[in-house]
Structure 1
């Protein structure tokens, strides 16, 4: 695989660490230092997600006239600026601005980066290239967030943001040195990028991402209280189990890339189907410690095994102008996160218990499989039939 993929993965590692660094354990300290309530500090996480969903596609759209490497460099510079502002923020308001700036870079970077990564390799290896780039994101959950949290707890929450700035600088340098220059596609441009959204297949692919990935945060949002209150784990065991879950994310991401290079649609059916079954398994094994650990680990594998095929499907659906559609799919992943956590919260708040989100995840997973089937059916119905060989010979 090209070294340019390493540069893309390093940047993805920094962006993923930035996304989860506050919720990873720094929230109480940050709230106390800035003299705001913990719920107000929690809005820094919400604002980041909102920025990814809404603003990142718009930023990608504005950058359609730029070469993709130039756009990546601009986005990493914006990401560094946002985290630098966060590290220096004297007030809560300034920190909020820094988080939103970093969020602007997030979705657009993964959208443009996915197109660049796919273009660095032969067509039959595109999904594996995407998986390698997104490995940076999965490693952020395993190494970046725990490491950043440890730095923040030892040296103050601002030190964690300085660490993210440093990672971003390495990623920027790597993109500048290793990613080849790419002239702007003559088939691209603002009009072409917008035109692909007239295609029903693009919308079906985006809907498949939302519903197919939604089970992940539906289950994970309340997995910690489920472990302590239902399975009777000690609080000290939670980081260990979640660390194993993070390893599952890395393995699943790489597995999903290999499977998607063989068949995108079969990889979607397999990964979303496994995610649905493991959501059911989580509900059924919640009171059994050993079984729950195995289920959560496998759930992590299935969760990130969905990413390469779902992203590849969108690139296939908008192949003539994929950049904006790719960025929109990153927003679809974040919309899935928001939908899953919202439904999980509603279920728990209404008194259905900590296993109820897993049952909701089963329903969402089934809906994702239905949407994947509709997407596949539409693609097959639009493929022109091959000419009859015998007829072709008699007319020559």
Structure 2
């Protein structure tokens, strides 16, 4: 892999740490900003909202920009949003900075993904995407814990300053390693061309798989802390260690997935979706058994993130003339899953079905994800028109 790929992964680590660490800073932020804990929790929702909208909007607005210019602009705004958040005592301003930061983070993801696949041969795209997304996985293992520790000992503002500093460091790496122009020499991207390339039913089916697979994973992951304490019976002090173990599983999964996604994308998706279903159902059944629950959480991360490289690279093969916009909509698809999965899990908990019910929700969404993979596989294998294959199914 070119050094630039690892620099992009570092950039995702810096920004992903901000996305994740807020979960551990909510009590301190609520007290300091003089709002309730639920109101402070809305800062997490603000980030999700910004990411959902930011990727496609910024992909279109910066389509003709040199990629290095776009990446540097996004990461500079991201760093400044954290400086502004660290300096204010207003909840409203912090809320706005979370939306702005997430907005440009989503744009960075989209442009970074298209840049990464443009820097490597077609048969190495999966590995490049695994390095890129691996930055978020490492943020799950290290960034979340480190940001929480900094926030608890030095205040949540110190965690914001740390993210800003790390973002500046990553920006320097982008400046030094990313080529100054677009990888496609002589090609001038046009919004109309990219939009036409997006009119592809198989591409939107792939987006559906992305959203459903992510929702299946997040339905369970979002409530693992309370499940481990309330149902499994672990002491709260052990929860960070188990979540770090989930991160280790995620890193293992995305590493393996990065090596199989290019040559065997559909087997990677089949195995990942089936593993999500089995692990989610097993977790629902054995959540009260500590050894089983901890093992399944490790496997849940491995199977969930093992799909990630194939989910990312497939959209590039289906929209060759729209790499930036295709990646942007895929980022939004991930965030649809991030939003819907926890929401459905919350509905189950609110209905009094208990914390293990979120794993059943994950298994059910996983079945839908597997169905979209099967349909996409049938369309891929068949020489017949898509309409005939869909009618036969």
* Same topology, TM > 0.5: yes
Larger mean Cα displacement after TM superposition, 80-89 or 131-140: 80-89
Mapping of 1:342-357 within 5 angstroms? Answer: 342-357=343-358
Listed one character per residue, the Cα deviations across residues 343-365 of structure 1 (whole Å, up to 9, x for unaligned) are: 10000110111111111111111
Find the counterpart in structure 2 of residue 114 from structure 1: 113
SS state at 1:230 partner: helix
Offset at 1:55? 2.7
Given the two structures, how large is their TM-score scaled by the length of structure 2? 0.94
* Cα deviations by residue, 1:89-117 (Å, 9 ceiling, x for unpaired): 23111111211111111211111111111
1:196-217 deviation per Cα after TM superposition (whole angstroms, max 9, x unaligned)? 2211111111001011221111
More displaced stretch, 339-348 vs 54-63: 54-63
**What's the counterpart of residue 286 of structure 1?**
287
| Corresponding residue for residue 311 of structure 1 | 312
Who is 1:388 aligned against? none
Distance 2:54 2:67 in 1: 18
CA contact (8 A) 1:187 1:320 kept: no
Aligned partners of 2:384 and 2:8: how far apart in 1?
Answer: 34
With over 3 angstroms needed to count, the CA separation of the structure-2 counterparts of 1:88 and 1:253, relative to structure 1, is: same
C-alpha separation in 1, matches of 2:350 and 2:377: 37
Check conservation: 2:198, 2:322, Cα contact below 8 A: no
CA RMSD of aligned residues (A): 1.5
Q: Normalising by structure 1, what TM-score?
A: 0.93
Greater shift, 215-224 or 155-164, is seen at 215-224
Contact map agreement 1:52 1:103 (CA 8 A) in 2: yes
* Larger Rg belongs to: 1
What is the rounded CA distance, in whole Å, between the counterparts of 1:12 and 1:184 in structure 2? 20
Q: Match for residue 303 of structure 2?
A: 302
* Distance in 2 of aligned mates of 1:74 and 1:316: 28
Preserved CA contact (<8 Å) 1:209 1:333 = yes
1:173 maps to 2:172: yes
* 1:141-152 → structure 2 map (5 Å cutoff): 141-152=140-151
Task: Give the match for residue 379 of structure 1.
Answer: 380
Q: CA deviation at 1:176?
A: 0.6
- Whether the 8 Å contact between 1:11 and 1:172 is mirrored in structure 2 is yes
Whether the 8 Å CA contact 2:55–2:109 is kept in 1: the answer is no
Question: In the aligned structure 1, how far is the partner of 2:314 from the partner of 2:91?
Answer: 40
The answer as to whether partners of 1:84 and 1:98 remain within 8 angstroms in 2 is no
Residues in 1 aligned to 2:293 and 2:166: alpha-carbon distance in whole angstroms: 35
- Flag the 1:35–1:44 CA change in 2: closer, same or farther, 3 A: same
Q: Distance in 1 between matches of 2:365 and 2:128?
A: 28
Once the 2 structures are TM-superposed, how far is the Cα of residue 376 of structure 1 from its aligned partner? 2.4
Per-residue deviation, 1:233: 1.4
Change (3 A) 1:307 1:265: same
Q: Which moved more, 1:175-184 or 1:215-224?
A: 175-184
Match of 2:28 in 1: 29
The aligned residue for residue 127 of structure 2 is: 128
Paired residue for 1:192? 193
User: Is the 1:56–1:103 Cα contact (8 Å) retained in structure 2?
Assistant: no
Q: Structure 1 residue 366 and structure 2 residue 380: aligned?
A: no
* Counterpart Cα distance in 2 of 1:366 and 1:152: 39
Q: CA deviation at 1:380?
A: 3.3
The answer to which of 135-144 and 225-234 deviates more is 225-234
Q: What is the CA distance between 1:184 and its match in structure 2?
A: 7.0
Kept after mapping to 2: 8 A contact 1:86/1:98: yes
State how far apart, in whole Å, the 2-side matches of 1:206 and 1:292 are. Answer: 30
| Contact persistence 2:119–2:183 (CA under 8 A) | no
CA distance in 2, matches of 1:296, 1:69: 38
Q: Which residue of 1 aligns with 2:337?
A: 336
* Residues 360-390 of structure 1, C-alpha deviations (whole Å, 9 max, x = no match): 1111111101111222222334689xxxxxx
Equivalent-residue separation in structure 2 for 1:114 and 1:291 (angstroms) = 36
For this pair of structures, how many residues does the alignment match?
A: 383
Structure 1 contact 271–306 (Cα < 8 Å) conserved: yes
- How far off is 1:280 after superposition? 1.2
Alignment of 1:1-396 (within 5 A): 1-23=1-23, 25-183=24-182, 185=184, 186=187, 188-381=189-382
Call closer, same or farther: CA 1:181–1:382 in 2, change over 3 Å: farther
Q: Provide the C-alpha distance between the structure 2 equivalents of 1:378 and 1:208, rounded to a whole number of angstroms.
A: 14
